[in-house]
Amino acid sequence: MPLFEYRCEKCEHQFEQLVRQGETPGCPQCAAKRVEKLMSIAAGRVATTSSSLPLASTCPPSDAPPCSPHCCRLP
């Protein structure tokens, strides 16, 4: 099951939920059924000879070129 991010339209609570295809979760805070699916940055790993490099939530080394629109070192 994929993990999705949602925001409740009633109380504005943001949460993550494992959801099967075609299902929509309710808000865990107020139990409202109207939630909005949010866009998430995908995370993954690239195997290298020394270790795995995370693709999301961290910055590349300072001498590396900018990697993506979400990179913290973009001009």
Burial of 9-18, coded b for 16+ CB within 10 Å and e otherwise, reads: eeeeeeeebe
Domain ranges across the chain = 3-43
Taking only the tens place, the pLDDT of each residue in 30-63 is 999 999 999 877 665 555 555 555 555 456 666 7
Question: What percentage of residues in the chain have a pLDDT greater than 90?
Answer: 36
The yes/no answer on whether domain 3-43 falls in CATH 2.30.29 is no
H helices of the chain, in order, are: none
| Per-chain mean pLDDT for the chain | 75
Q: Phi first, then psi: give them for residue 54, nearest 5 degrees.
A: -70, 145
The full length of the chain comes to 75
Contacts of 46 (CB under 8 A, 6+ apart): 52, 53, 55
